[in-house]
């Protein structure tokens, strides 16, 4: 167990778990047509139709691409990059789902690579993986198309590969889900990030695409530091690099998965579920939250004068339990970095609880009421969050 605080380790690895410095700038900027929405939404400048709006979203697979690189270099399995392509796309599309956008979406991807370390066969797998995943979404009733992309050989910027995407849509303004409608008196239904949904081919560990820098260095051994020096920042102190004891093909305790399989589980999309929920019970759903950056604290940014209470979370999947065990990361930090068991949540009127859970069962995704909203207890009425665990209660301002 490391003696440093988890927050200090994140900073030493060049990671900000709260991104406060970014929010200080972004939060002062124009918030668009729906300031309380999950994504920024602007007037439609592409067609000029006053009834429409524009949503443009950018995200990527983050340092999960480095895990894909390690798996490829160690095993020769180039197909791992199909999952990395999915990671990048889902991190965009599932954010868009939170504003009610899942149809008529165009996706473009950017791959920045070191051509010496990331050869043509790996790049081909990424491109093919993108097209294959988009086709699988279309088969599930999600109309999304590829708008092409860009491949840049930037060896000075990366020793391996970075995979990012951008998604664009022109929805009707009256179709937007506005999380400003999140208020006291709602139930919070969480949808599991682990297991195997009806549209997945393999068991999912639940890891998603957040916190992978720390997960990689906390779990994997010095073997990777010595064998693949291109996978870390040379300015980071060695004691923060590859601090664990595992190789990628070692077994994950209390799981059917290998360490590498768990870390590389392709990020689950909730698009089919979100579309079905809103089509059937949209009148009772006030907001949707993708628990990505910020983990279980993401909800704090939505609604006003709300006390978010999460007192019935899923049991954390094995991957999160092991990360915490080997790193000594506090419960407070774990829930702020990782999804800890559910990566999507609906804020709904209590009358819709049973229906939403039943819809989720149709996709073989576990769902349960994980909490509720009450009136803020803060003197200034600001949002705050309480998370009840079996042995303690966590509070976030």
Domain extent, residue 200, equals 1-28+177-397
How confident is the model over 253-292, as pLDDT tens digits? 999 999 999 999 999 999 999 999 999 999 999 999 999 9
Final residue of a structural domain among 128, 143, 175: 175
Going by C-beta distance under 8 Å and a sequence separation of 6 or more, which residues neighbour residue 44? 50, 52, 53, 54, 170
* Residues 262 and 362 grouped into a single domain: yes
CA angle 56, 308, 386 (to 5 degrees): 125
How confident is the model over 329-373, as pLDDT tens digits? 999 999 999 999 999 999 999 999 999 999 999 999 999 999 999
Eight-class DSSP state of 284: G
Strand locations in the chain, DSSP E? 42-43, 53-60, 105-113, 144-153, 161-169, 187-192, 285-290, 306-310, 342-348, 367-375, 384-389, 392-396
Query: For residues 99 and 176, is the Cβ–Cβ distance under 8 A?
Result: yes
Which one, of 130, 127, 267, lies nearest residue 211 by Cα? 267
How confident is the model over 150-191, as pLDDT tens digits? 999 999 999 999 999 999 999 999 999 999 999 999 999 999
Strand order in the sheet with 42-43: 42-43, 53-60, 161-169, 105-113, 144-153
Final residue of a structural domain among 175, 195, 221: 175
Which one, of 264, 139, 265, lies nearest residue 199 by Cα? 139
* Residues 136 and 187 grouped into a single domain: no
* Residues 316 and 348 grouped into a single domain: yes
Q: What is the CATH number of the domain that holds 114?
A: 3.30.1330.10
* Residues 165 and 275 grouped into a single domain: no
Mean local confidence (pLDDT), 198-213: 96
Residues 336 and 30: their CA atoms lie apart, in Å, by: 26
Q: How confident is the model at residue 25 (pLDDT cuts 50, 70, 90)?
A: low
How far from chain centre, in Å, is Cα 153?
27
> What's the number of domains the chain is made of?
2
* Residues 195 and 286 grouped into a single domain: yes
């Amino acid at each position: 167990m490391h003696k440093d605080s988890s927050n200090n380790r994140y900073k030493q690895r060049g990671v900000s778990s709260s991104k406060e410095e970014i929010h200080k700038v972004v939060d002062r900027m124009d918030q668009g047509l729906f300031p309380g929405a999950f994504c920024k939404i602007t007037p439609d400048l592409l067609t000029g139709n006053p009834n429409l709006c524009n949503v443009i979203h950018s995200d990527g697979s983050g340092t999960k691409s480095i895990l894909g690189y390690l798996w490829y270099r160690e095993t020769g399995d180039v197909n791992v990059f199909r999952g990395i392509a999915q990671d990048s796309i889902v991190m965009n599309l599932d954010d868009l789902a939170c504003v009610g956008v899942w149809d008529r979406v165009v996706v473009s991807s950017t791959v920045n690579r070191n051509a010496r370390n990331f050869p043509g066969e790996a790049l081909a797998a990424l491109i093919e993986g993108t097209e294959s995943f988009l086709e699988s979404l279309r088969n599930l009733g999600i109309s999304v198309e590829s708008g092409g992309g860009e491949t840049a050989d930037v060896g000075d910027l990366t020793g391996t590969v970075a995979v990012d995407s951008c998604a664009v849509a022109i929805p009707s303004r009256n179709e937007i889900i506005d999380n400003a409608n999140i208020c006291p008196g709602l139930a919070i239904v969480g949808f599991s990030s682990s297991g195997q949904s009806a549209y997945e081919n393999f068991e999912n560990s639940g890891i998603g695409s957040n916190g992978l820098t720390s997960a990689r260095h906390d779990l994997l051994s010095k073997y990777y530091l010595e064998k693949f020096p291109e996978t870390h920042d040379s300015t980071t102190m060695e004691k923060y690099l590859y601090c664990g004891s595992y190789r990628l093909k070692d077994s994950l305790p209390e799981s059917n998965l290998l360490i590498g399989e768990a870390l590389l589980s392709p990020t689950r999309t909730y698009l089919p579920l979100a579309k079905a929920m809103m089509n059937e019970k949209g009148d009772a759903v006030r907001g949707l939250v993708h628990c990505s950056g910020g983990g279980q604290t993401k909800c704090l940014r939505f609604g006003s004068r709300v006390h978010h209470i999460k007192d019935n979370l899923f049991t954390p999947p094995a991957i999160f339990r092991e990360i915490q065990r080997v790193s000594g990361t506090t419960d407070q930090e774990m829930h702020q970095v990782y999804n800890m068991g559910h990566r999507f949540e609906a804020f709904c009127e209590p009358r819709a609880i049973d229906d939403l859970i039943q819809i989720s069962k149709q996709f073989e995704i576990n769902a349960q009421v994980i909490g509720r909203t009450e009136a803020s207890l803060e003197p200034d009425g600001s949002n705050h969050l309480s998370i009840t665990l079996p042995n303690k209660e966590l509070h976030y301002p």
